Structure 1
């Protein structure tokens, strides 16, 4: 080991309370600027956070999410509902949306229960739900009207080889009536009632009633296991029926005039229409038919801004939508209020219609 210094030098200590470095004019100025600007920066940050919902949603919707209830995947309603909500997304960047499956009656129940924000249904079914008329067991008072999406038709798709030429021919056949909760299924039951028939009487005659979706029904018809498919409120260019017609000869059943007269007399909410010509390969069309507008409804507590944005996005984007979706080729803004048979119009939608001179 080296020799230690017997007289080490003692380090000087600064007096207590004098630990600051010598003054530095540049550093002091920077500190003063920080103290000046920090409160301003904090205030700006708070203001920007307050403005975020407006900046994030171009139409000023307070909602961060929006759900629409449609019908089965692969069907016309699901495709239309998806496109409607995409138009709303364009006007409201950052909005998170959800397309749900459902049905014409199911959607009304979901909105009443708070399980969907908006939904597609039939013009004839909405007032039944609102007033609590069977098959609805209670008043659905949380429903409001937004607008018409497109005119629909009750389509009875038949396999040509089944030789179904009149409504009564269905009574001993294998039928897909649609899922329980679908509007078309209700329409078919009401029609059967007009003829003094029901599902049990069809089964007693040897017929079969299936409650399945459109995709499964078209496949069963293609495989030879189904004679007729009931589809209510569909546009005349239902994608699954168009696809089916390419491989399987099909037809659309035209209900005779006397039968239609009885149906319209008993159920005035049904609308008389004319089926468009040549809706599918090998199908003539052009006959008198049962029609019913497919409408969009909303929960009562949807914000006025959201309802306004939805109808504005749809109708002002309608030309582009129609160019992409032939299902909506008959949709018009002038018919927006024609499908309301007794629901209160949502105030946000009413504001838009008043601005455009429709109310």
Structure 2
């Protein structure tokens, strides 16, 4: 009898542990915890993640959403590997994951699309007194980029390559965990160049501008053409005049799209619920990032080369967006 009872206890403990594991990875257990990967501090993905956390917890009864720091490439890997249930992504790098292109080593099969959100701006910010007027002038300077492998860090390598440069041509390359830390390097004079991919105006750049005069370096048509040879998903977007202090004209920069991804394994009804919540509460998202103020279900459903989750597709078909 004692052995039988012990087996029952062990079985109960194992079942409980399994339940916790399932819940922590977005399973359909009674106490559901979903993991949502956001972005580096100083970017817009962190506050957007907080808004989506509250939104999703209302949309899925009994759910708890845990937000975690991340970045475009890291988020795709997190969802693919089952370490996260949701995440923000960048169109260029997520499509690379789907196709198994570098920096990914195999095709992502567990990454599904929920919605396109807004354009991203790859910004090359420099100190105004650093003597930098074009990308080629970065040669020999100290540069601050994201942690290796993150989307903006990869784009930093691409933009240097497109202009005949590399990290080896820099006096120093600083790999920073957050945009705020990168901006602090420039503020203290330890670097002259800061690259980031986020919305505009970026809070970290605005903070830097309170202590130092800065300017953005535009992309030329030739530079854009060279970038598109590296990744066809790059395009040109405009940073309007007066976005940042002392910016007196429109500036063209490299652009791509931010979108929202999920595990393809999550139940259709759950993803239907969160997709509907996002589409019907755009005003709450736009309060964090005004670039989404006019976002429509049709734009959210636009094909970017990432398969739609069946739950998202069900909602978009229901409202005539597909």
Shorter-chain TM-score category? 0.7 to 0.9
Equivalent position to 1:224, from 158, 164, 189: 189
Q: Which moved more, 1:268-277 or 1:288-297?
A: 268-277
Aligned to 1:11: none
Deviating beyond 3 angstroms after TM superposition, the runs of 4 or more aligned structure 1 residues are 323-334
In the TM superposition, residue 98 of structure 1 has moved relative to its aligned partner by 0.5
Deviations 1:202-257 (A, max 9, x none): 14xxx21111021111111111111111112x111211112222222111110222
Residue 152 of structure 2: which of 165, 175, 184 is its match?
184
| Cα distance between partner residues in 2 of 1:186 and 1:256 | 19
CA contact (8 A) 2:158 2:230 kept: no
Q: 1:247 to 1:331 in 2, by over 3 A?
A: farther
Q: Are 1:342 and 2:305 an aligned pair?
A: yes
| Alignment correspondent of 1:268 | 232
Residue among 159, 162, 184 paired with 2:130: 162
Check the 8 A contact 2:135/2:163 in 1, yes or no. no
Kindly indicate whether the alpha-carbon contact (under 8 Å) linking 2:42 and 2:202 is maintained by their aligned counterparts in 1.
no
State the alpha-carbon separation in 2 of the partners of residues 321 and 104 from structure 1. Answer: 19
Displacement, 1:147? 0.8
Whether 1:107 and 2:107 are equivalent positions in the alignment is: no
RMSD in angstroms over aligned alpha carbons?
Answer: 1.9
The alpha-carbon deviation at position 330 of structure 1 amounts to 6.2
User: Is the radius of gyration larger for structure 1 or structure 2?
Assistant: 1
Q: What residue ranges of structure 2 are gaps of 5+ in the alignment?
A: 1-26
Report the Cα distance in structure 2 between the residues aligned to 1:326 and 1:247, rounded to whole angstroms. 25
Give distance in 2, aligned partners of 1:109 and 1:214: 21
User: 1 CA distance for matches of 2:136 and 2:42?
Assistant: 30
Of the three residues 307, 321, 329, the one matched with 2:271 is 307
**Matched position secondary structure for 2:211:** coil
Aligned residue in 2 for 1:150: 118
CA contact (8 A) 1:151 1:331 kept: no
Q: Counterparts in 2 of 1:1-359, with a 5 A limit?
A: 62=28, 64-200=32-168, 202-203=169-170, 207-212=171-176, 213-232=178-197, 234-284=198-248, 286-326=250-290, 328-329=292-293, 331-338=295-302, 340-359=303-322
TM-score by length of 2: 0.85
The answer as to whether partners of 2:44 and 2:289 remain within 8 angstroms in 1 is no
> Secondary structure in 1 aligned to 2:298?
coil
TM-score, normalization by structure 1: 0.77
Q: Distance in 2 between matches of 1:328 and 1:190?
A: 27
Check whether the contact 1:104–1:181 (CA below 8 A) recurs between aligned residues.
no
In structure 1, stretches of 5+ residues that fail to align are: 1-60
The 3-state SS of whatever aligns with 1:172 is coil
Aligned residues of 1:245 and 1:282 also touching (Cα < 8 A): no
Q: Output the CA distance in 2 between the equivalents of 1:150 and 1:328.
A: 6
**Structure 2 counterpart of 1:19:** none
Aligned in 2, Cα 1:110/1:320: closer, same or farther, shift over 3 Å?
A: closer
Q: 1:142 to 1:209 in 2, by over 3 A?
A: same
Structure 1 stretch 347-356 or stretch 315-324: which is displaced more? Answer: 315-324
- What is the alpha-carbon distance in structure 1 between the residues aligned to residue 239 and residue 119 of structure 2? 11
Say which SS state the counterpart of residue 85 (structure 1) adopts: helix
SS of structure 1 residue aligned to 2:279: helix
User: Which structure is higher in strand share?
Assistant: 2
